[in-house]
Amino acid sequence: MNILKTLTLAAFSMMLSQGVWAQWDTDASPNGNMRFSWIHGSLSAKSNKDVRIQVHRYNEHTYILRQNPAVHWEAPFMYLLFGDESAVLLDAGATSEPEYFPLRQMVDSVIDRWKTANRVSELTLFVIPLGQDSSQTSALEQFRNRKNTRIADDADTRAALFGSSWPDSGTLSLGGRHLEVIPTPGIDPEAISLFDTWSKILLTGNTFYPGRLVIRDHPSYLESLEKLQRIASQSGIASIWGGRIEMSAEPGLDYMLRSNYRPNERSLQLESTDLKDALDIVRLINDKQDIQIHDDFIVMNGVGRGARAYGWPVYIPEMFRKNRTR
């Protein structure tokens, strides 16, 4: 056996003993698959037979989880991203009870499969809600006593995790995969968004998604969208993933608040052009009380989330669509 072969086998044995098999695969494609349908709930939540949590493998290191609308009408999305040293779960759903919403069990199952596929023995999990809304934080307690887990759900734990520049800006490294952390208040004063520099996906939680964007602090929200737009312009983004879907596939028409049945939802992902449109609309509103209807989202300022009744307007005249006004 030659020296090179001996050294190679020794290195191989050391990697196995330390539980480090696959370094971050820089050759892995960040492109993913979004050609599928989400569970759309049912008219009777009690009779619903679908899984409580739908899991979609977007690519080798990125998973999308969604809470069944029949379990909770918010039907929030959660994201599980893997690096070679750690993983991060973004948001924790709208239901606390594990018997109705077994988030930790599902996350552990996905992590175990990923660790097996990548021959990794230990992996730190970060659990980070992207805001304070109950649709993002309800199942956090399921992770409190989990081994090798850090939860960042307040100012102190965020500062400890995101670096010395926080709260102006922050970073989170998963080992070979780096996330830029951006404070994005305006709808939620504690909202953050993350930009995945590997996949070029912008994860915006409840700051920007295909639904009712109810602004609580107009100047802050305007500044937040400007930050996101700069990232889109300077770094380029492949897609924007928010925390919910409230729009139907019919342009400008949203589902009724608290609806458990959404058979014709719009797709989850938004594009950089949608972000630019939203920024233009927020500038146009100029902190006036208003509801502006876009084909893919609705901007509401100075009104409550329930101010727009279901199907109002059922039909949006073309002239209103172009002007994006009610």
pLDDT digits (tens, 9 = 90+) for 37-68: 899 999 888 889 899 999 999 999 999 999 99
**pLDDT value for 305:** 76
**pLDDT value for 54:** 96
114-131: average pLDDT: 96
Range from 34-48, 223-237, 282-296, 298-312 carrying the lowest mean pLDDT: 298-312
**pLDDT value for 303:** 84
Amino acid in the structure at residue 47: S
* Domains recognised in the chain with CATH numbers: 37-323 (3.60.15.10)
**pLDDT value for 68:** 96
Range picked from 18-22, 127-131, 249-253, 258-262 for highest mean pLDDT: 127-131
According to DSSP H, which parts of 172-217 are helical? none
Q: Could you read off the pLDDT of 181-221 as tens digits, one per residue?
A: 999 999 999 999 999 999 999 999 999 999 999 999 999 99
230-247: average pLDDT: 96
Distance of CA 75 to the CA centre of its chain: 12
**pLDDT value for 209:** 98
163-182: average pLDDT: 95
From the list 269, 283, 153, 167, the residue with the least C-alpha distance to 215 is: 283
Q: Is it the case that residue 22 has pLDDT exceeding 70?
A: no
Which helix or strand (DSSP H or E) is residue 192 part of? strand 192-196
Q: For residues 63-100, b (16+ Cβ closer than 10 Å) or e, as one string?
A: bbbbbbbbbbbbbbbbbbbbbbbbbbbbbbbbbbeeee
Please tell me the total number of residues recorded for the chain in this structure.
326
Neighbours of 324 (CB within 10 A): 18
**pLDDT value for 25:** 52
Q: Is it the case that residue 322 has pLDDT exceeding 50?
A: no
Range from 10-19, 93-102, 276-285 carrying the lowest mean pLDDT: 10-19
DSSP labels, 23-77: ---TTS-------S----B-S-GGG--S-SEEEEEEETTEEEEEE-TTT-TT--E
The pair of three-digit structure tokens given for residue 166, joined into one six-digit string: 């926080």
Sheet holding 124-128, edge to edge: 53-59, 62-67, 77-82, 86-90, 124-128, 149-151
* Mean pLDDT of the residues in the chain: 87
The span from the CA of 247 to the CA of 77, in Å, is: 14
Q: Is it the case that residue 224 has pLDDT exceeding 50?
A: yes
**pLDDT value for 301:** 93
Q: Is it the case that residue 279 has pLDDT exceeding 70?
A: yes
Higher pLDDT, 44 or 125: 125
**pLDDT value for 308:** 60
How much of the chain, in percent, has pLDDT values that exceed 90? Answer: 76
**pTM of the full predicted structure?**
0.87
β-sheet bridge partners, residue 242? 205
Contact predicate 93/103, CB 8 Å: yes
